[in-house]
Structure 1
Amino acid sequence: MLDLSLELVLTLIAAAFAAGFIDSIAGGGGLITVPALMLAGIPPAQALATNKVQGAFGAATAAISYARRGLVDPRQQIGAAALAFAAGLAGALLVTFIPTQALRYILPVLLIGIAVFFALKPGLNDFDRVRRVSPLFFTALIVPVIGFYDGLLGPGAGAFYMLGFVLLAGYGILKATAHTKFLNLASNLGGLVAFAMVGQPLWLLGLVMAAAQVGGAMVGSRVAMRSGARVIKPLLVVTSTALALRLIWQLI
């Protein structure tokens, strides 16, 4: 671990707890932890790699919490998760070979579009709607695309998974959230494997933050399961908008 003061480590732990809480409900936890790691003086590549370490634990905790409540059966997502893992791994390995600047300009627009969709679309609740694509199509095309993006850049991947499940698979908000977490975990792990080979994550710091991520994810998933769309929708709108504004700030 870097030579960090106790105060700074405690700040990172608090950031990880808040990120775990938010990420388990609406995604976007990296909006908190990545800037916190960089403000601590960690180089960008190591900050992203370390974020994958602690983020994987939070995503796993949320996925397990939703599965225990019967909101998702991970066994039915094994194939999709394998594709998400492979795509996340490929995206992270190719990050230095693929020009991503154009995507960085498009991404804030997409995130604001997601925020507007969930804020204004009528009838978005915890009840399933008409499915627009087959499960095979969703698994074969949508999951790898988002997984690849998660490895390549990462911000907003959870929101994109959510949008896909709601808009294309016809899932209710809570069910979509539950199904998002296992895939998010898989693409996150794929990215982590790649970063572990080239990005040199700070494992000790990542594991310390992971403990806080687990706590935040446990609390957040319980809140989501208790309140459903009433809390998931507004938090998704806020996190997507905040992430878009942060990305715009970085481009200025």
Structure 2
Amino acid sequence: MPLEQVLLLLTAAAGAGWIDAVVGGGGLLQLPAILVTGMPPVEAMATNKLSSVFGTTSAAVAYARSTKVDRQVAIPGAAMAMVSAGLGAWAAASISAEVLRPAVMVVLVAVAVFVTLRPGMGAVPVPHLRTPSRVVAAVAAAGVGIAFYDGIMGPGTGTFLIIAFTTILGLDFVSASASAKIINIGTNVGALAVFAVQGHVQWALGLGMAVCNVAGAQFGARTALKRGTAFVRIVLLVVVVAMVIRLGWQQFA
């Protein structure tokens, strides 16, 4: 691989780590950067997972040291997510992204409208929303539905997790982001394990990108913790709009 492509991927990995640590959606930057090199889509997704699992874990540790993680949701959700994401990764080679992309775009547009029209969402925690039934719903949504999507496609998983935790459990954006990182570790590990068994991972490239992803994730987590929920909300909207534009370009170009 030419040196300029390697440098591009390392830069993209650092930027993706920052985005993922703040609001998720780093795959929006990292995965297309890998695909530009001409790597087959499944190998690109596999290598993206290898890089991302290190950055996500690094960000999760940074959050856990400074803010509350909803362990009752995050731990069982992460365990379920490993299985669901693994199933998604197994199906990735047989289900076309062309089938999923329009549905994901609709969901993202709905998310952008919802967050815009509800400026108070995620600004402060809403403890009374956290009932036993909602905890079960959050675990199922994160550990099954969103995790499967991460295995089969990926970009925006962290964003979907944050939205699920703020709307279902009433968490503020920073706490939701912290809890989402634990689930995201599970999805990345589950998908990566399947991709590795199938022989799709480019190990040398993925590990090199992982170093930059970790650096970006550390900076992103510290930025989110320092700037607070208002900052996370703004970045969330920017990332969601960018994902809609990117997916729309892929769909109609």
Q: Which moved more, 1:136-145 or 1:151-160?
A: 136-145
Q: Map 1:43-54; keep pairs closer than 5 Å.
A: 43-54=40-51
Kindly indicate whether the alpha-carbon contact (under 8 Å) linking 2:18 and 2:218 is maintained by their aligned counterparts in 1. yes
User: Residues of 1 paired with 2:40 and 2:15: CA distance?
Assistant: 22
Kindly provide the CA deviation profile for residues 165-191 of structure 1, in whole angstroms up to 9, marking residues without a partner as x. 011111111111111111011111111
Q: Map 1:1-252; keep pairs closer than 5 Å.
A: 4-72=1-69, 77-98=74-95, 101-129=98-126, 130-131=128-129, 133-252=133-252
Kindly indicate whether the alpha-carbon contact (under 8 Å) linking 1:53 and 1:207 is maintained by their aligned counterparts in 2. yes
Q: Which moved more, 1:132-141 or 1:180-189?
A: 132-141
Kindly provide the CA deviation profile for residues 1-53 of structure 1, in whole angstroms up to 9, marking residues without a partner as x. xxx22222122111111110011001111111111111123222211111000
Gaps of 5+ in 1: none
User: Residues of 2 paired with 1:117 and 1:144: CA distance?
Assistant: 23
Task: Letter of the 2:152 partner, please give it.
Answer: L
Aligned length: 249
Report how far residue 199 of structure 1 moved.
5.0
User: Residues of 1 paired with 2:45 and 2:249: CA distance?
Assistant: 18
Kindly indicate whether the alpha-carbon contact (under 8 Å) linking 1:17 and 1:212 is maintained by their aligned counterparts in 2. yes
Q: Which moved more, 1:143-152 or 1:119-128?
A: 119-128
Task: Letter of the 1:221 partner, please give it.
Answer: A
Report how far residue 90 of structure 1 moved.
0.9
Could you state the TM-score of these two structures normalised by the residue count of structure 1? 0.92
Task: Pick closer, same or farther for the CA change 1:5–1:142 going to 2, 3 Å.
Answer: closer
Q: Which moved more, 1:189-198 or 1:207-216?
A: 189-198
Kindly provide the CA deviation profile for residues 195-225 of structure 1, in whole angstroms up to 9, marking residues without a partner as x. 1122521101100000000000000000000
Kindly indicate whether the alpha-carbon contact (under 8 Å) linking 2:57 and 2:181 is maintained by their aligned counterparts in 1. yes
Gaps of 5+ in 2: none
Task: Letter of the 2:52 partner, please give it.
Answer: G
Classify the secondary structure of the residue corresponding to 2:33: helix
Report how far residue 100 of structure 1 moved.
5.5
Q: For the aligned residues, what is the CA RMSD?
A: 1.8
* Identical positions, percent: 39
